[in-house]
Chain A
């Protein structure tokens, strides 16, 4: 083989390998194709799940729950009593959430959620968790120094406000109900839902902004 040919061959080889999926992607293909062949999963279920959680299911679901809890005291009572049951009226409870518990912020109490083990999260009502929620730093520091973590998130929690940190598990996940901000009297559920942020439902935000809505 001439020098030109061997260079050409090496270039071709690199070209081919540049189209090779990553090691992780190949391992996932191996897992998925074997799991489908053995009848453990259906390919259409996987595709539908990926599409739903990439594009459609996000924190707006939780925001609607929070907004209703602000305008409908009977719903709020049901939600605090048994959130898994209460959110069924929205039609998106999803098995993925496991058992759900709603915890309410008040003038004298603040709630914050973490999963110290891995990343348990009510994703069927909040969508995929943010990167920081999965980080080792958050999982460790949220219990060790929660007030310092809150300060970094921009929450200046007064000393006299009690802080409770809830550790999620595979069976029990949490939804924080932030306080309804002043100046939103008379707003309908949709308008209220639009100001409820993801972080406020995890408890890393406390005072919701009403400007510009």
Chain B
């Protein structure tokens, strides 16, 4: 059920979380730079959205951005030198970096072993 726009309602924030904006920013920047094509991006996003819907995911903004992130990961590992393995290792590195950084301090990746 849709509703007319309420001109008096406070404006919703454009993004619910910063990473959502970063996903679209990266996708658009890679399209602009010719790293991926606009159609490939639309197709990958469409495929992830269809998959989420088929899996019974709720029809929400959170589901949309999760699909966008999955689409960007898929396209990046297909069309750029970044591999899925590198992504997994780098994610683990960031997780460790967050765990060992005191709250309030800038989080940096350690280049040498912990």
Q: Judge if A119 is at the interface, Cβ distance under 8 Å.
A: yes
Q: How close is B65's CB to chain A, nearest CB, in angstroms?
A: 7
**Contact (Cβ within 8 A) A50 B18:** yes
Quick one: which of B15, B43, B66 contacts A54, CB cutoff 8 A? Answer: B15
The smallest beta-carbon distance between A37 and chain B, in angstroms, is 9
Closest to B44 in A: A118
Which of B42, B65, B88, B91 is in CB contact (< 8 Å) with A170?
Answer: B42
User: With the chains together, A136 CA to B60 CA distance in Å?
Assistant: 9
Contact of A210 with B by CB under 8 A: no
Q: How far is the CA of A22 from the CA of B41 in the complex (A)?
A: 24
Cα distance, A132 to B19, chains bound together (Å): 20
Check A46 against B26 for contact (C-beta < 8 Å): yes
Whether the pair A27, B1 counts as a contact (CB closer than 8 A) is no
Interface size on A, residues (CB 8 A): 58
Verify B14–A41 contact, CB threshold 8 A.
no
Q: Closest residue to B45 on the A side, CB-wise?
A: A118
Question: How far apart are A201's CB and chain B's nearest CB, in angstroms?
Answer: 11
> Bound complex: CA of A22 vs CA of B69, how far in Å?
13
The residue in chain B whose Cβ has the minimal distance to the Cβ of A197 is B5
Known: A40-B33, A95-B32. A53 touches B24 (CB 8 A): yes
Chain B: which residue is nearest A200 at the CB level? B5
B82 adjacent to A38 (CB under 8 Å)? yes
From A16, A19, A27, A45, contact of B69 by CB (8 A): A27
A182 CB–B CB distance under 8 Å: no
User: With A25-B19, A53-B25 known to touch, is A134 a contact of B64 (CB < 8 Å)?
Assistant: yes
Also in contact, A21 and B29, with CB within 8 A (given A28-B23, A30-B90, A204-B2): no
Given contacts A28-B26, A41-B30, 20 further A-B contacts (CB under 8 A): A20-B95, A24-B65, A31-B76, A31-B87, A33-B94, A34-B82, A38-B81, A46-B29, A49-B21, A49-B24, A54-B13, A54-B15, A96-B28, A117-B46, A119-B45, A135-B59, A137-B2, A153-B4, A170-B39, A197-B7
